[in-house]
Amino acid sequence: MIQAFGLTSNPRQELPPAVDDVSFEAPTGRVTALLGAHASGKTTAVRLMLELQQGRGITHFRGRPLHRIPHPSREVGVLLGEVQGHPSRTVRGQLRMLCAAVGVPVQRADEVLEVVGIVSLREQRLGTLSRGMDRRLGLACALLADPHTLVLDAPADGLSARESKWLHGILRAHASLGGTVLFTTDDAKEAARTADRVVSLESGRVIADQGVADFSRTRLRPRVAVRSPHAARLGVLLAKEARATQRSVEVVNEDGNRLSVYGSNCADVGETAFRHSILVHQLADEVGDAGPAVRVPVRVRNEEVRGPEPTAPQATRAEASPLAAEPSEPATPSAQAPAHPSPAQDSPHSTSTFVPLPTDADLDGVASRAATPPADDPDSEASGTASAPAPPPAPLSPLPPPITIHPARSPLRPLRYEVRRATGIATGYLTAAAVLVASAIVAVLLGRTGHTPQSRLLAAWPQQLPLPPAALGAGLLGAFAFGDEFRHPALAADRGTVPRRLGLLCAKLAVAAAIAVLLAFLVVASDVLLLHLVYGEELTEVPADWLSTSASWLALVVGCAWAGVLAAGVFRSTTAGLAAVLAVPVLVVPVVQKALEGPSVRTAAGLPSRLRDLALVHWPFGAERFLAAVLRMITQPVGGALMLSLTALLCAYLLTVLRPRAR
């Protein structure tokens, strides 16, 4: 069951809030439609329910708010707009990646593809899907974790009649299995055909909450309710005038002295009755009632702000009866007026009662009367002055609790998710191919000159370039790790952008390092093969210090990949990630060298040689060689600047992660 209490969006400049005090229920095993015209507040209400937009109110999904559910994707399946994903990713790849995100077996992707009927499109790219197929894929994403509740925003928008009928059948089947379905629509006929209950919104307020039978009879076909002792005669006269004027008017004789006139209005019916001197007891336009009011007492709302919410929503509604039943002093007219009209005023058929929201004065009066013992109580006289007076009640807020936007959770299987994300599109493969081709061309040109050291020749790193192509490619691949996801959100369609959690960061760093190492080996191997083919064995000799050189080469490539990952995560841009990699040799290296060798009384110019002297100490098992290699990498200008850049980016990333938690 879904229970929405007091959903209110933040006010806009010189405009009323898009959603104002919206409360309704969507029962289990039923399909509920949230009906309203364009800009009536349907999407805003859904986003407030899912805690995607700041405002006030609270929504319970089977008795718990969304932020109190350990795994929201397994409780609530969401479809908001188009499928969020890279346009080059395949349908099956998108679902398999989301399987790792929500923690379900990968076979679930094939199962939901069969459910929504797009098995034949599993290898098609997201960017090539039609509107109907995109809707089917979005429904598959919502059903992936087998949730109890489905919340869909305009799922049939832009679909054909056949596709809409299929979609409504899926929603009906999910509800028949014990699930809860809530969808928004602006088509009254669609709501009448599909839903069991229809909640109508207008200008951000609930104007009707009805069963589908009442909705079809009243709101789908607005009528004029007439009550007269001469109802039969009036009905004949109205039908005769309609035929004479060639108007489509239907008159239905209800029980007793009541008429329901469809296709007319109060003015025409009243004039007909006046002309023929027919007494009328009731004459009203009837467009449905507001249904049973769902209200949250002020006391419960204040507890939501101060502490945890009640465990069951029934307790929330039960507290309204003693407050409403207790007589209170007259309040101001504004406080007495309910937010919505009473059902008894809207429709004579309604039997529900409206319980107004108690004011602060009402609650204070109830608390004071409860604290004061009655005059005939013997215990009160016996206690005398021994009993301390009750403390004054704490002020209660008349507003519903605020809605806070909670960040998306990390994938339940982050490493598997990251592997599927990195290998699911062709961008990484094309980048690696471009790096191999560029490195091969540069290595051949450097081998022709004959003045390049062997280590730089094998790495295809000329003196004129700040970084070799392999390092730039690794940095670009690392920048894709976050940059593409912020452009094309892939995690949790109901949350949008990717969360910057430490678990996900570790998975991205591990995958980026593995890709960088693989790319570094492929570059060296391809350069060696090409140089041997073009120039023979002369340029393919292994350097004497191959161990330290290889470690330096791998550290450079991995460091560039990590710099791209961290910068893209901080700035949410692939371009910013690649710019951070290029900034190391272009900007950071000159600054570090100037700081170490600048004119001063004392200089740190000899720091590299003094650090290398530390390796002269005898270490067990020959560890001084490895230590010397590490110190040699650190004392290199690019290596030291890269470590400084990585440290700064990591601190910035941690700051962006911890700052929302501190708030």
Can you spell out the DSSP letters for 478-536? HHHHHHHHHHS--S-TTT-SPP--HHHHHHHHHHHHHHHHHHHHHHHHHHHHHHHHHH-
Is pTM beyond 0.75? Reply is no
Confidence at 15, pLDDT banded by 50, 70, 90: confident
Dist. CA 46–CA 53, nearest whole Å: 9
Given its phi and psi angles, is residue 172 left (phi above 0), alpha (psi -120 to 50 degrees) or beta? alpha
Percent share of the chain, pLDDT over 90: 41
Is the Cα torsion angle 165, 166, 170, 171 positive or negative in sign? Answer: negative
The residues pairing with 56 across neighbouring beta strands, listed in sequence order, are: 8, 402
Condensed to tens digits (0 to 9), the pLDDT of residues 534-584 reads: 888 777 777 777 777 888 889 899 999 999 999 998 998 899 999 999 988
Tell me, what's the pLDDT at 634?
53
- Can you tell me the distance from the alpha carbon of 1 to that of 25, in angstroms, rounded to the nearest whole number? 7
Q: How far apart are CA 363 and CA 299, in angstroms?
A: 8
Q: Rounded to whole angstroms, how far apart are CA atoms 378 and 381?
A: 5
For residues 58 and 547, which has the higher predicted lDDT (pLDDT)?
A: 58
Beta-carbon contacts of 300 under 8 Å, excluding residues fewer than 6 positions away, are: 310, 316, 319
User: Distance between CA atoms of 175 and 365, rounded to whole angstroms?
Assistant: 45
pLDDT in tens, 226-249: 999 999 999 999 999 988 988 888
According to the model, what pLDDT value does residue 303 have?
38
Indicate the average pLDDT of the chain. Answer: 78
Longest dimension (CA), the chain: 119
Which range is least confidently modeled, 30-39, 180-189, 382-391?
A: 382-391
Report which of 1, 41, 38 is spatially closest to residue 17, judged by C-alpha positions: 41
For residue 298, pLDDT over 50 is answered with no
Alpha helices (H) in 572-636, listed in sequence order: 574-583, 589-597, 607-613, 623-635
Percent of the chain, pLDDT > 70? Answer: 74
pLDDT tens digits for range 608-621: 555 555 555 555 55
CB atoms within 10 A of CB 431: 18
Query: How far is Cα 427 from Cα 188, in angstroms, rounded to an integer?
Result: 45
